[in-house]
Amino acid sequence: MAKLIGARRTPSDHFEPDDDVDPKAQRNLRGHLEQIDYAAYAANRKLLSGAMGAVEGERIHKLASACALARTRWVVAALAISEEAGAPTREQIAGLVHLRATYDELAAAYDGLRRMVERGYLTYAPAEE
């Protein structure tokens, strides 16, 4: 089963038993999958927390701000191009492609970081106010 995330489909992360398999085989398979999932969890937690430590709220705020700025630049550039007479030039489109790619990468990094905290790979240290 897949679910829609943003504009892309991703497969489900959850075990979905096959109706043709007997219950004992399903339980055995579920146990194996849980062991595999735990191995991935432990590896992610060890490597990510070792490389990054706790993620402070200020760092997440900076990444979110960079993402918002990239989105703003992309849309402002598109609006500026649309206000000009005639078809956009190849250079203008190339500039938009670069701006969109920048936004997409920063948004993916933000989503990935959020998912790492959500899954317990990293600990979150809220920003001090």
Predicted local distance difference test score (pLDDT) of residue 3? 54
Which of 95, 99, 115 lies closest to 48 in space, CA to CA?
115
Predicted local distance difference test score (pLDDT) of residue 26? 86
Convert the pLDDT of each residue in 10-60 to its tens digit. Answer: 666 666 666 677 888 888 989 999 999 999 999 999 999 999 989 999 999
Taking the C-alpha atoms of residue 124 and residue 52, their distance in angstroms, rounded to an integer, is 11
Taking the C-alpha atoms of residue 37 and residue 31, their distance in angstroms, rounded to an integer, is 10
Taking the C-alpha atoms of residue 87 and residue 50, their distance in angstroms, rounded to an integer, is 50
**Sequence ranges of the domains in the chain:** 15-52, 54-129
Higher pLDDT, 6 or 90: 90
Predicted local distance difference test score (pLDDT) of residue 48? 94
Convert the pLDDT of each residue in 77-95 to its tens digit. Answer: 999 999 999 999 999 999 9
Coil, helix or strand at residue 86: coil
Average confidence (pLDDT) over 98-115: 97
DSSP 56: E
DSSP secondary structure letters along 20-85: TS-HHHHHHHHHHHHHHHHHHHHHHHHHHHHHH-SEEHHHHHHHHHHHHHHHHHHHHHHHHHHHSS
